[in-house]
Structure 1
C-alpha cells in the first residue's frame, strides 16, 4: 500500500508554495532562515518550472533545484516536489502547436498563461512522462522529499478540448464505454431531431451548433474530459510510485469552487495517495467561514473521512476577484484552524514570498512585499507556533453528525441547457441547506448517492436532478432501515444518460417520497408563494413550485396561493422504520430551518441551543485522544460548555465546565480520558 502521509513529517504541515526561481539565488538563504523563524515544516517546489528544468528539448538543468532542495534539507524543511506538467515550455508548443487546446467554437488557445493543454495530445503525454521520469530518478530518494505534487489544479482553467485529437480519443472512449454505435444511439436518444449515427466515426465532440445540442452527448463529453485528465494524472503517479517508492503522490484539488466543477472528485479521491485541496474565500458578501467549512467537509468526505491536507489558501487578500479585501486581524489563523478542525493535517499557502512580477503579484503571501515588519508576517509566525502546539491532532478524524448527498455528474447534467428554470441553481440549494445545518451546529459529511448511509441519522439531498436507479434504491433502503431523509425539488428526474425516468416525477425517488409530481410550475422572476403549515407557521417560497400528489405521504405545509394553491408543498412519508421529507419549492433560510428542525426531531437529533451562532464546535478523535475545536467567528466573547475537562493546547491552560473563547479567537481542548 502507498504511504498516505507526507514522509518525514511528525506534526502538522505548515508552509506554502516556494518559487525560488523568481528570485536571485542570494535571497534563498534568507528565505530558509525566515521559514525556520516562522515554523515552516514543508514547502511546495517546482510546480511551474518545466522551462527552467528543460530549457531546450532534451537538455536539462537540475543544478538550481539540487541547491534549493539541499538548502531546505539543511534547515529541516520538508519538500512537496511538483511535476511541472501544468505549463510545458514555449519551445514545446512551437514544436507541437496541436497540444494547445481548442474551444467548442473552434478557437485554439495560445501559449502565455497556464494550463493550456490538450490532454489527449500524444506529444504532451510523452513529454510529461519524460520530465516526470527524470525528476523521479534524480530526487526520488532525496532526504528532503516528503510528497510528490503532480501537475496543478487539474481542470483550471481548461477542462475540455474539442480538437480532432480529442474527437478520435472520444470515439475510443465511447467504444470502450458502450461497445458499439447502437448502444450510443440508445443512451443518447438520437432518434430525437434525427441525430442517429451508423458508425462511431461519425461522432465528434459537442462543438458549437446552431441551437441546443444533444444533452446526453454533452454529459458524456464531460465524463470523457474528466477521465482523460485523470489518465494523465495516473500515468505520472505510476511513474513516481515505481521510481520513488514510499513517497505519497497527490495533486491539489479545488473541491468546492464552481470554477472547478468539471472534475469528479469522488473518482479522483480514489486515485491519490493523500487528498489535498486549495481553498480561497469568495468575498461576495456572504459569511465566508460557512463556505470554508463546507469546502473542508467536502474535501474530508472525498478522502473517505481520512485526514487530508490544505495545500493552498491565502494569508490575506487574493488578486483575481473583482474586489479583493484583506483578511481582518486574526482571520488567517481562524481560517487555517477551521480547516484543521474539519480534517486537514496542516495549513499551507500560496505562496511563501510575494511575487514582484507576473499575474499574481498582488496575491497575498506569507512573506509580503513589506517584509517582516508587517501584520501578515507577525500573524504567520503566530500561526506557525499554534500549529506546532497541535501535533497530537495529526492523524485523528473529524466526527460528523449528518450527511449531505453530492454528485458532480448530477451538477453536469443539471447545468446543461434548456431546463425548466434558469433561476434554479443546484449549487445555491446545496449552499443553503449546508448553511442551515451549520447554524444548527451539525458537522456534515458529504456522500455519493450510492454510498452506505446507514450510520447517519439524517441525510439531506439539496439537489439531485440526475439520480440513478441504484441511488434511488439506496435511499429507499436507508429510510426503511430507520433513517430520516430530506429531499429538495427537481431531484430524481433523470437517469445516468439524462433520460427522464419512466413514469411520473420524481422518477427514482417516487417510492421513497410517497408522492408523484404531475407538473413543474417554475415562478417568474420576483414571484413568491406563501406556504402554510403547523400551528399557522407561514413560510415563503420562490423560483419553483410543483403540482404534488400524495401517494402515501402526508402534507405538512401547503401552498397558500399561486397556481398550486391548496396543493402539498412540504410532505412527510413514513416508510419502514424511517421518514422521508420532500420540499417542492425554494424556501429561504427561515423556511429551510423549519423543515430541517422537524426532520431533526424525526432523526432524534437534539437542538444545540447552548451554542452561539457563528461559533463552530468540531471534534477530532483518534489514538491520541479527543480534540474539541471551538472557533469564534464573532466580535463577542463566547462561552461553550465542555462535556469533559482537558487541556487547551494553544494557551496550555486547563479547561473545564464552560470554555471561554474570546472574540475572533480559536481554542483547542484535548479532552481528558
Structure 2
C-alpha cells in the first residue's frame, strides 16, 4: 500500500509554494534562514519548472534543483516535489501546436498562460511521462523528498478540449462505456430532433450548435473530459509509484470553488494517496469563513474522513477577483486553524516569497514585497509557532454531526441548457443549507448519494437534480431504519443519462417523501410568495414553487399566495422508523433555520443555543486524545462551554468550565480523559 502521509514529516506541515527560480541563488540562503525562523516544515517545489528543467527537447538541467533540494534538506525542510506538467515549454508547443486546446466554438488557445493542454493529445502524454520519469529517477530517493505533487489544479482553467484528437478519443471512450452505438442512442435519447447516430464515427464533441445541444451528449462529454484528465494523473502517479516507492503521490484539489466544478472529486479522491486541497476566500460580501468551513468539510469527506492537507491558501489578499481586500489582523491564523480543526494536517500557502513579475505579483505571500518588517510576516511567524504547538493532533479525525449529499455530476446535468429557471442554482442551495447547519453549530460530512449514511441522525439533500435509482433506494432505507431526511426542490428529477425518471416527479424520491409533484412553477425576478403554518408561522420564499400532491405526507407549511396557493409548500412524511421532509420552494435563511430546527428535533440533535453565532466549535479525536477547537470569528470575546476540563495547547493554560476565546482568536483544548 502506498504511504498516505508525507515521508519524514513528524510535525504538522507548514510552509508554501517555493519558486526560487524567480530569484537569484543569492536569495536562497536568506530564504531558508527565514523559513527556519517562521517554523516552515515543508515547501512545494518545481510545479511550473518544466522549461527550466528541459530547456530544449531532450536536454536537461537539474543542477539548480539538485542544489535547492540539498539546501532544503540540510536545513530540515521537507519537499513536496512537483511534476511540472501543467505548463509544457514553448518549444513543445512549437513542435506540437495541436496540443493546445480548442474551445467548443472552434478557437484554439495560444501559449502564454498556464494549463493550456489538450489532455487527449498523445504527444503531450508522452512528453509528460518522460519528464515525470526523469524526475522520479533522479529524486525518487532524495532525503528531502516528502511527497510528489502531480500537475497543478486539474481543470483550472481548462478541463475540456473539443479538437479532432478529443473527438476520436471521445468515440473510443463511448465504445468502452456503452459497447454499441445503439446503447448510446438509447442513453442520449437521440430519437428526439432526429439525432440518431449510425456509427461511432458519426459522433463529435458537443461543439457549437444553433440551439441547445443534446443534454445526454453534453453530460457524457463532461464525464469524458474529467476521466481523461484523471487518466493522465494516473499515468504520472504510476510512474512515480514504480520509481519512487514509499513516497505518497497527490495533486492539489479545489473542492469547493466554483472555478473547478468540472472535476468529480469523489472519483479523484480514490486515486490520490493523500487528499490535498487549495482554498481561497471568495470575497463577494458573504461570510467567507462559512465557505471556508464548507471547503474543509468537503475535502475531509472526499478523503473518506481521513486527515488531509491544505496545500494552498493565501496569507492575505489574492489578485484574481474583481476586488481583492486584505485579510484583517488575525484572520490568517483563524483561516488556517479552521482548516486544521476540520481535518487538515497543516497549513501551506501560495506562495513563500511574493513575485515581482508575472500575473500573480499582487497575490499575497508569506514573505511580502515589504519583507520581514510587515504585519503579514509577523503573523506568519506567530502562526508557525501555533502550528508547531498543535503537532500532537496529527492523525486524529474530525467528528461530524450530520451529512449533506453532494454530487458534481448532478451539478453538471442541472447546469446544462434549458432548465425550468436560470435562478435556481444547485450551488446556491448547497451553500444556503450548509450555512443554516453551520449556524446551528453542526459539523457536516458530505456524502455521495449512494454512500452509506446510516450513522448520521440527519441527512440533508440541498440540490440533487440527477439521482440514480440506487441513490433513491439508499435514502429510502435510511429513513425506514430511523434516519431523518430533508430534501429541497428539483431533486430526484432525472437519471444518470439526464432522462426524466418514469412517472411523476420526484422519481425515486416519491415513496420516501410520500408525495408527487405535478408541475414546477418557477417565479419571475422579484416575485415572492408567503408560506404559512397552522401555528401562525409565516415565511417568505422566492425563485421556485411547485404543485405538490401529498400521498401519505403531512402538510407542515402551505402556500398562502401565488399559483400554488393552498397547496403544500413543506411536508413531513413518517416512513418506517424515520421521517422525511420536503421543501418545495426557496426559503431564506430564517426559514431554513426554522425548518432545520424542526428536522433536528426529529433527529434528536440537541440545540446548541449556548454557542454564540460565528463562534465555531469542532472536535478532533484519535489515539492521542480528544481536541476541542474554538474559533471566534467575531469582534467580541466569547465563552465556550467545555464540559470536560483540559489543557489549552496554544497558551499552555488549564481550561475548565467555560473557555474564554478572545475576539478573533482560536483556542485548542486537549480534553482530559
1:170 is aligned to: 170
1:337 is aligned to: 337
- Correspondences of 1:402-481 after superposition (within 5 Å): 402-481=402-481
CA distance in 1, matches of 2:643, 2:6: 33
1:133 is aligned to: 133
The alignment partner of 2:292 has SS state of helix
Alignment pair present for 1:30 and 2:38:
no
CA distance in 2, matches of 1:653, 1:11: 22
1:266 is aligned to: 266
CA distance in 2, matches of 1:430, 1:298: 12
2:118 is aligned to: 118
Structure 1 range deviating more: 178-187 or 531-540: 531-540
The alignment partner of 1:70 has SS state of helix
- Residue 30 of structure 1 and its aligned partner are, at CA, apart by 0.3
The alignment partner of 1:556 has SS state of strand
2:39 is aligned to: 39
CA distance in 1, matches of 2:410, 2:488: 14
Q: Deviations over 1:366-398 (max 9, x none)?
A: 000000000000000000000000011111000
CA distance in 2, matches of 1:34, 1:174: 53
Alignment pair present for 1:503 and 2:496:
no
Alignment pair present for 1:397 and 2:390:
no
Q: Deviations over 1:168-196 (max 9, x none)?
A: 00000000000010000000000000000
- Residue 533 of structure 1 and its aligned partner are, at CA, apart by 1.1
CA distance in 2, matches of 1:667, 1:152: 33
CA distance in 1, matches of 2:36, 2:11: 15
Q: Deviations over 1:189-218 (max 9, x none)?
A: 000000000100000000000111100000
- Residue 516 of structure 1 and its aligned partner are, at CA, apart by 0.2
Alignment pair present for 1:527 and 2:552:
no
- Residue 535 of structure 1 and its aligned partner are, at CA, apart by 1.3
2:328 is aligned to: 328
The alignment partner of 1:167 has SS state of helix
The alignment partner of 1:549 has SS state of strand
CA distance in 2, matches of 1:7, 1:494: 45
2:76 is aligned to: 76
Alignment pair present for 1:380 and 2:380:
yes
- Correspondences of 1:250-649 after superposition (within 5 Å): 250-649=250-649
Aligned length: 673
Q: Deviations over 1:529-566 (max 9, x none)?
A: 00001411101110000000000000000000011000
CA distance in 2, matches of 1:116, 1:330: 37
The alignment partner of 1:667 has SS state of strand
1:56 is aligned to: 56
Q: Deviations over 1:604-641 (max 9, x none)?
A: 00100000000000000001100000000000000011
Normalised by the length of structure 1, the TM-score is 1.00
CA distance in 1, matches of 2:102, 2:467: 32
Give RMSD over aligned pairs.
0.4
2:233 is aligned to: 233
The alignment partner of 2:535 has SS state of helix
1:6 is aligned to: 6
- Residue 103 of structure 1 and its aligned partner are, at CA, apart by 0.2
CA distance in 2, matches of 1:513, 1:48: 51
Q: Deviations over 1:481-527 (max 9, x none)?
A: 00000000000000000000000000111111000000000001000
The alignment partner of 1:372 has SS state of coil
1:218 is aligned to: 218
Q: Deviations over 1:97-138 (max 9, x none)?
A: 000000000000000000000000000000000000000000
CA distance in 2, matches of 1:449, 1:190: 28
CA distance in 1, matches of 2:251, 2:534: 50
CA distance in 2, matches of 1:227, 1:107: 23
The alignment partner of 2:300 has SS state of helix
1:193 is aligned to: 193
Q: Deviations over 1:286-324 (max 9, x none)?
A: 000000000000000000000000000000000000000
- Runs of 4+ aligned residues of structure 1 deviating over 3 Å after TM superposition are none
1:152 is aligned to: 152
CA distance in 1, matches of 2:505, 2:365: 51
CA distance in 2, matches of 1:244, 1:644: 46
CA distance in 2, matches of 1:322, 1:285: 12
- Residue 643 of structure 1 and its aligned partner are, at CA, apart by 1.5
CA distance in 1, matches of 2:370, 2:8: 33
The alignment partner of 1:29 has SS state of helix
The alignment partner of 1:322 has SS state of coil
CA distance in 2, matches of 1:422, 1:301: 29
CA distance in 1, matches of 2:619, 2:68: 38
Q: Tell me, which stretches of 5 or more residues in structure 2 are unaligned?
A: none
CA distance in 2, matches of 1:646, 1:601: 30
CA distance in 2, matches of 1:452, 1:302: 14
CA distance in 2, matches of 1:411, 1:110: 30
CA distance in 1, matches of 2:39, 2:341: 20
CA distance in 2, matches of 1:299, 1:59: 39
The alignment partner of 2:40 has SS state of coil
Q: Tell me, which stretches of 5 or more residues in structure 1 are unaligned?
A: none
Normalised by the length of structure 2, the TM-score is 1.00
CA distance in 1, matches of 2:192, 2:533: 43
